A and B are shown apart, each in its own frame.
Chain A
Amino acid sequence: MSWRRIFRTPVPEEVDEEFAFHVEMRMREYLAEGRTLDEAREAAVERFGDIEEVKAICRRLATERERRTRMTTWWKDFAQDVRFGLRQLRTRPLFAAAAVGTLALGIGANTAVFSAVNGVLLTPLPFEEPERLVEVRTRYLPPSGFDIPRFPISVPELLDLREASTSFEALGLYTTGTRTLTGTEGEPTRVPTVFLDRAALEALGVEPVIGRWFTAEEDVPGVAIGLIGHDLWVTAFGADPSIVGRTITVDDREFTVTGVMPEDFALPSPAYQIFENVGVDPADPGNRAGHGSVGLGRLADGVTMERLRAEAEAIHAGWAEQYRHNVAHFPIFERLPENLVGADVRRSLLVLLGAVALVLLIATVNVANLLLARGERRQVEVAVRTSLGAARGRIVRQLLTESLTLAVLGGALGLLLGHLGLQALLRVDPGALPRTRHIGLDGTVLLFTAGVTVVATLLFGLLPALRAGRDPGGELTGGGRATSPAGRTRFRRILVTAEVALSLVVVLGAGLIGRSFQRLTAVDPGVEIDDRLVFQLQPTGAAWQEEGALPRFYEQLQSRLAAIPGVTSVAGVSHLPLTGSQNRNDFLIEGRPPPADGEPILSAQWTAVLPGYFRTMGIEPLRGRLPTEADRTGTEPVVVLGQSAVDRYFAGEDPLGARVAIARDSVVWGRVVGVVPDTRTTGLDADVIPQIYYPYAQGAGFVWQPSAMYVTMRAAVPPTSLVAATREAVREIAPDVPLTGVGSMQSVFDRSVSRSRFLANLLGTFALVALALAAVGIYGVVAYSVSRRTREIGIRMALGAGRSEVTRRVVAEGAWPALIGIMVGLPLAWLATGALSGMLYEVSPRDPVVFTALSLGLLALAVLSSWIPARRATGLAPTEALRE
């Protein structure tokens, strides 16, 4: 019977043979009746009608039946294997927990990083054909002096560009700011606002959910008209469709709402919820030197960036002819998608993706080791099954299915862990990644996790399954070369080497990023961070334009806030350190001729301060004095310089007594009365911008009087405990002025390093996981090998070998492969960390301290992981060991 099963005749031949038999039997009947051979055959065949057709019907039926049987058998086998696998896991819960846990870590890490990659990089942007969208800024290259690679563009420059260029389908501009929304239920709110023109809307090409864009004719200076964002529409206006055409009150003016933007529209970020007309009059576009806008354009079909840049160069050359001054700004073009996501974010995510891939490999190596150890214990079982008739392929399939079951359990757990972990991290650090709204568990992430699970199964399960199926018969008889003890141990050692090498790469990467982060946060921001509370105010509206109203308000506010118990001092500043401001203005120094063509222009950040600011923020003057209440309108305007302004513009000379003024039509001079150390306004890793501080009260007429100010408070108690009292105080004095950004200075600091911290934390976590896995892996291998050799160890010790000698031998078993792993891993890491070069602050990607320290640390860990099982084994009394 089994012969027939192996040498089955295929279906068509079977049908032929069956019918041939029937025909032959019928022929016998007819022959017996007396017909001739031919008559008999003809008559017999005729009984079938169209015999070929009948045969065809039967063949089809037979093939269908066979296919169905095959599938049913396959599924039955599969279900049986899964049940068997689950039962096996139940009988060995420790093994199951170890394997499932390891896989969960490896797969979960991949899920987490991939869902971030998916949301941030892969989810399409909410614009049509986003690759054709381009932002236009300028590069500020005065003949000598600064080189600011990224600076806003001025309106006249953009209009000129629009006129001269043929590369754009539409080219508009935008700028950002904040408006106060009143008149809705609840307090007045500050809403980040985008000011843009019709051309920018056309370039973006985003259809509003309801309503329409505004037309170029409607975009008139002095009129406020535009669209609102979807979130604002829902929260402030209850998604009322009648908002279209209505007016709302923004900055005490009437703003006509023409439409609502779709929910996922975000430019430059989801916080911006009002899209107002920019109000540029083409006949009077303003100062060519006033750089405060960003161009937004859609490239015409087929235009490349090269062509655009070449054209811009030509256009700029034309400007140089036409305008003698103000040509130090060269238009630069960047693709909008890269700007929205940021090259640094992209690089960080890719680095993380690489790291988790390595972690997954390490995890699969561990599980493979576990399976190999288990496999050896099950060799007898496999051998018996083979001798009972199971085909080798069937056994391999069964073992693979067990591995798949393991992987699916690990993958499900990992999916949960990865998703929850990432969500938790994002809640802690919301500013760390852009487009977090799109990060979550969607179909793509699930599919990816499933794919990773399958790959992991193949990686850790295929080899042990194939090995188990090989030469099983040999096991029963005690032979079997392929799975000899020596071969097995050597293979496991190779796995340990691989594991250690991969871990080293991850650990070194994390170490470099960590050191970079440490260096970054060690940078002195120039102000004291502890015990400070800050918030921002922007009184807007006609009432505040009255002369003297703003200074009076801030004066009043200062004294009212100073009265709050727990507050040591109160002050204010127009640009708070670490908030990313890059504002600069050109200025003049009395007695020096204005720079001619080709000479460096004097440029600094002019910052208004309320009296007591430097003391409040812990800044000690270096020379001269600080502004006081005595410096107000009517007295001589004074300024205080930051140290780098002195270094750059007063090279060595004493600046006290010199006079400076903003470079504009009406020049008003102020006297330098003091010098203070630098503070970092843009960020810890950005260059220091030269600072010129002036008293707020003297702003009108001398420089300008910003309505928006950051209020800074120094406290003797935890700053956040003062928030309620602060709000109360502001509400008392100015109920219609909203507070924004209330928080401790520490949180401002944290936010400014949030991206770096996020990467350092995540990479650090993965490195710890890799270390833990490697340590567990080494421990497992040594412990297993020791457990096999307890007898041998017992004999050695009974024959007089010292405990430490035997321990040393065993430790070497784990330590040697680890050492080789480190030596293999170092060149790999050398190559890999090259990818980090753009991301490190003051740390070389091959920093010798990091490399040496972490390599030694890993080696020490390997030795420790080998020492523990060694110690335990040699602790057994020799008689016990011999009994094993």
Chain B
Amino acid sequence: MPGKPLLYGTLDTLVLKTLEHGPRHGYGIARWLETRTDERIQVDESSLYPALYRMQKKGLLASEWGRSELDRRAKFYRLTPKGRKVLAKETEEWASFAEAVSRVLLGSGEA
């Protein structure tokens, strides 16, 4: 059953992150995110592929057909330079957002 719904837009950034160190196919991206978050985040296939296609249209990703680990034909995605830049920017914004929220929620609550 799908996990907690992700905040809008976060999926895109996560996908970009998964490609930081090399190209992956769509299934590989989903599995990597699931393993990395100890199954806490379940990637919704109906959002994943549209996200991939959207980001490719915007020029953040490029795709190429290749061979999977099991020697089957699969479409691999990789980051473009533009994609890398966007990843860096989104990561920084997320960090400062998370810090701000933590400060409120995890603080003492006093005035």
Which residues on A are within 8 Å of B, measured CB to CB? 4, 14, 17-19, 21-22, 24-26, 47-50, 54, 57-58, 61-62, 64-65, 68
Contact = CB atoms under 8 A, between A and B. Distances in A.
Contact of A49 (B46, B53, B56, B72): B46
Contacts of B75: 14, 17-18, 21
9 contacts: A22-B27, A47-B44, A49-B44, A54-B46, A54-B49, A54-B50, A61-B53, A62-B53, A62-B57
Contact of A50 (B27, B46, B50, B68): B46
Interface in B35-55: 44-46, 49-50, 53-54
A49 B45 contact: yes
Contact of A17 (B45, B54, B68, B73): B73
A17 B75 CA distance: 9
B45 A48 contact: yes
Contacts of A14: 75
A47 B45 contact: yes
Nearest to A22: B27
B53 A21 contact: no
A61 B46 CA distance: 14
Given A50-B46, A54-B49, A58-B49, A21 B57 contact: no
Interface string B47-89: 0011001101100000001001000111100000000000000
Contact of B46 (A21, A48, A68): A48
Nearest to B31: A25
A25 B27 contact: yes
B46 A22 contact: no
A21 B50 contact: no
Q: Is the interface of A mostly helix, strand, loop or mixed?
A: helix
A171 to B, nearest CB: 71
A4 B68 contact: no
Interface of B: 25-27, 30, 44-46, 49-50, 53-54, 56-57, 65, 68, 72-75
Given A21-B25, A25-B27, A49-B46, 13 more contacts: A17-B75, A18-B75, A21-B26, A21-B27, A22-B25, A22-B30, A22-B45, A49-B44, A57-B50, A57-B53, A61-B54, A61-B57, A62-B57
B57 to A, nearest CB: 4
Contacts of A19: 49
Given A49-B45, A50-B46, A21 B56 contact: no
B43 to A, nearest CB: 9
A22 B70 CA distance: 13
Nearest to A59: B53
A18 B44 CA distance: 16
A21 B68 contact: yes
A399 B65 CA distance: 35
Interface-centre pick from B45, B74, B75 (highest chain A CB count, 10 A):
B45
B74 A21 contact: yes
Contact of B26 (A22, A47, A68): A22
Given A49-B45, A54-B50, A61-B50, A18 B26 contact: yes
Contacts of A26: 27
A823 to B, nearest CB: 65
Contact of A18 (B30, B50, B57, B74): B74
A393 B72 CA distance: 36
A18 to B, nearest CB: 5
Contacts of A47: 44-46
Contacts of B65: 4
Nearest 8 CB-CB pairs, A to B?
A49-B46, A61-B53, A65-B57, A25-B27, A48-B45, A47-B45, A22-B27, A18-B75
Contacts of A50: 46
Contact of B50 (A17, A24, A58): A58
A21 B49 contact: no
A68 B45 CA distance: 26
A47 B1 CA distance: 9
Contacts of B73: 17, 21
Nearest to A55: B49
A21 B70 CA distance: 11
Contacts of A48: 45-46
A45 B79 CA distance: 28
A64 B74 CA distance: 22
A5 B16 CA distance: 26
Nearest to B53: A61
A62 B68 CA distance: 22
Contacts of B54: 61
A537 to B, nearest CB: 83
Contacts of A68: 57
A72 to B, nearest CB: 11
Contacts of A57: 50, 53
Contacts of B56: 61-62, 65
B45 A21 contact: no
A64 to B, nearest CB: 6
Contacts of B44: 47, 49
A32 to B, nearest CB: 13
Contacts of B74: 18, 21
Contacts of A62: 53, 56-57
Nearest to B46: A49
Contacts of B25: 18, 21-22
A33 to B, nearest CB: 13
Contacts of A4: 65
Nearest to B28: A25
B36 to A, nearest CB: 16
A18 B63 CA distance: 12
A780 B75 CA distance: 59
A62 B77 CA distance: 14
A831 B65 CA distance: 67
A171 B73 CA distance: 87
B1 to A, nearest CB: 10
A65 B56 CA distance: 8
A64 B45 contact: no
A63 to B, nearest CB: 10
Contacts of A65: 53, 56-57
Contacts of A61: 50, 53-54, 56-57
A4 B72 CA distance: 16
Contacts of B50: 54, 57-58, 61
Nearest to B57: A65
Nearest to A68: B57
A351 to B, nearest CB: 59
A54 B45 contact: yes
Contacts of B72: 21, 24
A145 to B, nearest CB: 90
B26 to A, nearest CB: 5
A55 to B, nearest CB: 8
A21 B65 CA distance: 12
Contacts of B68: 21
Contacts of A54: 45-46, 49-50
Nearest to A14: B75
A416 B16 CA distance: 56
Contacts of B30: 22
Contacts of B46: 47-50, 54
A3 B84 CA distance: 29
A591 B5 CA distance: 125
Contacts of A49: 44-46
B54 to A, nearest CB: 6
Nearest to B30: A22
A603 B106 CA distance: 122
Contacts of B26: 18, 21-22
A49 B48 CA distance: 12
A290 B50 CA distance: 91
A25 B75 CA distance: 13
A65 B65 CA distance: 17
The listed residue with most A CB atoms (<10 A of its CB), out of B46, B49, B50, B74, is B49
Contacts of A24: 72
Q: Which of B25, B27, B54 has the most CB of A within 10 A?
A: B27
A500 to B, nearest CB: 58
Nearest to A25: B27
B32 to A, nearest CB: 13
